[in-house]
Amino acid sequence: MPEHKMSNNPSGFRAQEKLVAALQDGRRYPHAAKSVRVIETHISWVLLAGRYAYKIKKALDLGFLDFTALEARRFYCAEEIRLNRRLAPKIYLDVISIGGNPEQPELGAQPAIEYAVRMKRFASGRLMDRLLARDRITPGHMDSLAAILARFHGSLPAAETGSVFGSTSAIRAAALQNFEQLRPLLKETADNRALDELLHATEAACTACEGRFEERRARGCVRECHGDLHLGNIALIGDEPVPFDGIEFNPDLRWIDVMSEIAFPVMDLVHLQRPGLACRLLNAYLEMTGDYGGIAVLNFYIAYRATVRAKVSAIRSAQASLSRRKNADALATCRSYLALARNVLARHRPALIITHGLPGSGKSTFAQAALEHLQAIRIRSDVERKRLFGLAPLASSHSQAGGGIYGADATRRTYARLLELARELLTAGFPVIVDAAFLRQEERAHFQELARELAIPFAIASMQAGPATLRSRILKRHHQEKDASEADIAVLEMLLAAQQPLSQVERDCAVAIANEEDGRAAENVAVWEMLERLLACRAG
């Protein structure tokens, strides 16, 4: 990170310091402000006054940004409002001019000597990273965040054809810059050796992903995103996740692949020892967007985001103003991020699990638990079937039993799509759970053959429940109208008669899971032990 360079406007920076000191008087504000607290970062001051927060950009040139001119600060204040109102309209209010003089400033007056972004305050204890530390983040929050990001990314225009945004050269340059900035900050030989290993792994991963980067750019996956979506930049307001503080000062850092964006909170959750929540967030996002092709570049972006956070921690560890203990803590955090980046680039552990069972047997509930337990990617037949026919997951196809999108041809197309997606995800090195009924031996055989072809572990999670239980669950599900499945009692009766039981060969690689009235099979430790033992055995 470059040092502060004030040579272009030293007097302007000193005037700002006087201005910020004057604005610590609560009487300067046109609203009640009994006390004013200042939070200073390397690029701004934030004044917390009453119900509002005012952010003033420092008159500095840091290389990656230049706020030395007043007009530039006005422009970037307006950009901060424009960009952040997309996700946090109730927080980002407007740009306020500050008139008068540095010793006696007047908010809202002209001519302006400074500009500030005016925001509505919220309690810092509502930040997701702090709530996570208190175990206050739930799986439901992950589902909500995934839905918010899926809608947000889907609403954004793609980067223009011919722009450098999202190009392999731009991605490589951003990744390598992290190492250039990290190396002078790490003094220990072991740290530099680890950095060299990560650099080589990063370069290799970047080269391996080149074709995917360009393919995704051509498909419109590079968009004007938030750009800095770690958990400290997401607040829970009204129990809904609200991303804020997106990057306004450098378009290169926000015009990125949407998969780079989702990789940031996923990485953060893994680093904070919440891999189950990370997988839940990722799977919910993939299910909503259908962007399973992004998995091929996900690990590269997770490693990139971890390296960025390592750099931030290393910069902090080098600050002379910190105590020795805080310096050591920051350096330890840096090392933990670097270790995460190395591990994710080295990770390649594909395995294939398919579910088996009638409607209402609990396949999707078990698959949801399994993806969190095994850190896997789930593909749902109910969702992908509807996606093939242009329907949203909860939309009704108005199909009759065995007809419409549930006819024989549509079912063959659905299983072919599931097989195609599974192959792609497994090739990228991820364990995969295919959540489908798999009631016909032919359907199961294609997936078992795929596992043999790729020489990876294969297992069948066979969900078992009696007819009365199945009927009860189906009626309850239809009453709630919150599931992608359209199977009703008529469909259940038809499938009860048509299902083909597992063969002896299939039973050898299956875990039979009794899931009767309480529906709590996913809480049975013995089930996970059997499944993991089966996968480990078949891997050997």
pLDDT digits (tens, 9 = 90+) for 229-285: 999 999 999 999 999 999 999 999 999 999 999 999 999 999 999 999 999 999 999
Q: How confident is the model at residue 3 (pLDDT cuts 50, 70, 90)?
A: very low
| Same domain, residue pair 114 and 214 | no
Are 274 and 183 in contact by the 8 Å Cβ rule? The answer is: no
pLDDT at 184 over 60: yes
Q: Is 4 part of any domain?
A: no
| Same domain, residue pair 332 and 378 | no
| Same domain, residue pair 220 and 280 | yes
pLDDT at 4: 42
Are 235 and 242 in contact by the 8 Å Cβ rule? The answer is: yes
Domain that holds residue 22: 10-121
| Same domain, residue pair 93 and 182 | no
Are 297 and 209 in contact by the 8 Å Cβ rule? The answer is: yes
pLDDT at 64: 77
| Same domain, residue pair 223 and 358 | no
H-assigned helices in 488-524: 489-498, 504-507
Among 312, 346, 380, identify where a domain stops.
346
Instruction: Phi first, then psi: give them for residue 446, nearest 5 degrees.
Output: -60, -40
Out of 177-181, 507-511, 536-540, which region has the weakest mean confidence (pLDDT)?
Answer: 536-540
pLDDT at 1: 36
pLDDT at 48 over 80: yes
Mean pLDDT, residues 471-484 taken together = 80
Among 60, 90, 121, identify where a domain stops.
121
| Same domain, residue pair 407 and 460 | yes
Q: Could you count the other beta carbons within 10 Å of the beta carbon of residue 181?
A: 16
Residue with token string 């270790």: 339
- What one-character DSSP code corresponds to residue 101? E
Q: How confident is the model at residue 12 (pLDDT cuts 50, 70, 90)?
A: confident
pLDDT at 295: 98
Structural domain tally of the chain?
3
pLDDT at 156 over 90: yes
Residue with token string 């997988």: 279
The DSSP secondary structure of 383-411, one letter per residue, reads HHHHHHTT--TT----PPTTSGGGSHHHH
Residue with token string 């650099």: 199
pLDDT at 291 over 80: yes
| Same domain, residue pair 65 and 38 | yes
| Same domain, residue pair 93 and 237 | no
